[in-house]
Structures are given as C-alpha cells and as structure tokens.
Amino acid sequence: MHRFPYPAQSLRSLMSLTALLSFGTLAAGQTAHAADSSTASGPQVTLGNDGNNNGQSMFRTLFDGQRALGTSGLSSLEGASGGGIASWATIGGYGSNKSAGMALHYSYVNLTSYWDQNVGASMGFFDRVEISYTHNFFQTRGTGAKLGIGNGYQFDLDVAGAKVRLFGHIADNTLIPQVAIGGMYKHDSDGRVIHMVGSKHTDGGDAYLAVTKLFPKIGILIDTTVRFTKGNQWGILGFGGDQDNNYHAQFEGSLGYLPSFIPGLVVGVEYRTKPRNQRFTDESNWFDVYTSYFVNKHLNVTLAYVSLGTIATYKNQTGFYFSGQTGF
C-alpha cells in the first residue's frame, strides 16, 4: 500500500480543486448558454404541450435526456454515479452539455450479520459536473447485542459528493476514456460508538480519480478508480483508527459486458480495496458480481452477489444487493 508524505494536505487540495472546477465549469456552461441565446432565437418554452410545434415543456428544457442509454451509470453506495461499490467517471442523469440530468435511487444490501439501506440522488450539469447525496441506514440486527452496542443498533451515514468530468466521453468512438475527479464529505452520527471501536473521527473526506470507457463494438466496459480515504467500512465505522490515521490510495475496478443480443443488459464484476485502520477488527477488500438492466432511461434495476469479508469482527459477510434507479 503506497503512502504519501502529506496525505491530509493532498486530500484537502484535491477536494478544493474539485470544488473550484465545479464552479468554474458551471459558470462557463452558463456563459456559453447565454451567448447562444443572444445570437439565435431558441424554441418557445412552455409548461406543457400547448400544440405549438416550436414549443417544448419546461421540464424537457431543464432535463433534455439526450445522452445515450446507460451513460449515466448506476448509483453507488456512496451516492455518486458508477457501479454498486465503485465510483466511475460518469455524470449522473441523461442531460446533454446544454442541460441538466438527475437520478434517484434506493439500494438494499442483505448480509450474513447485517443489512444496509440507502436512498439518495445525484444531479448532473452540462454533462460536466455532478453533485450527489445519499443516506445510509446500516442495521446490526441481532449482531448489535453480541457486540455490546444494543440489539438492532443502527449506524447512520450521510455522504455528500461532487464530481467533475475533466475530458473524454464514455461511449464515443475514440479510445480516449472519460476521466473525472471527485470528492466526498461523510458524516457518521454516533460519536460514542465510533470512538469506542477505536476510530478517530466521525467526519471524513474521500477524493478520487476515475477513468471509465465503454467499447460499444465489443460491448466491454472498463473502469479504474484511485481513491484516497481513511474511512472504515466506507465511513460506517468512522474514519482513521488507533492503528493508522493516515490517508492511503485504494483501488476500485469494474469490468462489464453488454451482450448485443439483449439491449440494455450489463453483467460484470467489481473489486475494491480497503484500508486497515482499527485494532478492534480487520477489514476486508470487497468483491461483487452484478447484473443490471436498463429498461429505459427512467428505470434501471441492479442485482448482485456481494462478498464484503469481515465487518466489525464478523467474518464472511456475503449476501445480495438490490438497487433501483430512475433517471432523467
């Protein structure tokens, strides 16, 4: 595991760069849009279909839905567009470079000793910037009593994120991938238990660089992501620990196959490495095998087998994952 000499400073700088790029690209997109409006007369905007062929609904103006099916990605456990356990370089929703996009999701993971639900949303602007939010409800069920924190004890994790596409497009005919930089702020609600298990902080941040490419002719999707984090179980058990309180680079990878004989279907695998910060418990790398079907741009359903290893001393945490997503 590679260490960096000034991890905290590097992370803050990377997240600051993400925020600056977000505001910069949004301002540039708005300026360009204003310039286009001043030189050409656009279509009349209405609240609905008024029978005028030159008119279009306000909703369609805001969310034109012109990007190709599937280019919004799925929704991850942390709210950003991507795979289930990996963040991709995709921008949420189907808005073009002149519009916005939006995605709403619900996910459920049932493991041997725990379950997790999360609900969230992401918005894309001008096919350049994404902002996202999700809330995780991590339920310990009967395992909570065995851990001494109470039967059915629930951890709550809020995650807010921002992502900027630097260059490239996921599904064009070039070999240039879509590349994005992103950051996440995470807050865990229970400091008492978080510190009891050896974690240092209830709040933390991640920063990542994602590279994603779809090769339409052969139906192969590839993603590679480097994440800088010190989150324990993606932040559910806090950040940093009595064994290690530094940021480290972790790897996330996805490989998918889109069979031409079933349009809208994606099958694939994902892998994600994790930090080991706590003496209280080991932490395992994650793995899943998934199948996802895009019924249309407004409905996507994902099922997966997940293997998450050890969570809070309980080993062999395997189970199934379900996610439903709607996009515009």
Give me the CATH topology for the region 7-38+63-327: Porin (2.40.160)
- The per-residue pLDDT for 190 is 83
The mean per-residue pLDDT over the stretch 74-81 comes to 93
Instruction: Please give the Cα distance from 118 to 219 (Å, whole number).
Output: 30
Tell me the one-letter amino acid at 275.
P
**Res 25 pLDDT > 70:** no
- Whether pLDDT at 288 is above 90: yes
Q: What is the pLDDT of residue 309?
A: 95
pLDDT of residue 196: 86
pLDDT at 275: 94
Among 45-59, 204-218, 226-240, 301-315, the minimum mean pLDDT is found in 45-59
265-272 and 115-125: which strand pairing? unpaired
Q: What is the pLDDT of residue 138?
A: 96
In sequence order, which ranges of the chain are alpha helices (DSSP H)? 7-39, 58-62, 143-147, 191-196
Residue (of 284, 308, 287, 269) closest to 114 by Cα position: 308
In the predicted structure, residue 109 carries a pLDDT above the cut 50: yes
Greatest mean pLDDT among 18-27, 36-45, 153-162 lies in 153-162
What pLDDT is recorded for position 261? 94
**Domain boundaries in the chain?**
7-38+63-327
More confident residue, 179 or 31: 179
Three-state secondary structure string covering 249-265 = EEEEEEEEECCCCCCCE
Beta bridge partners of 257: 220, 267
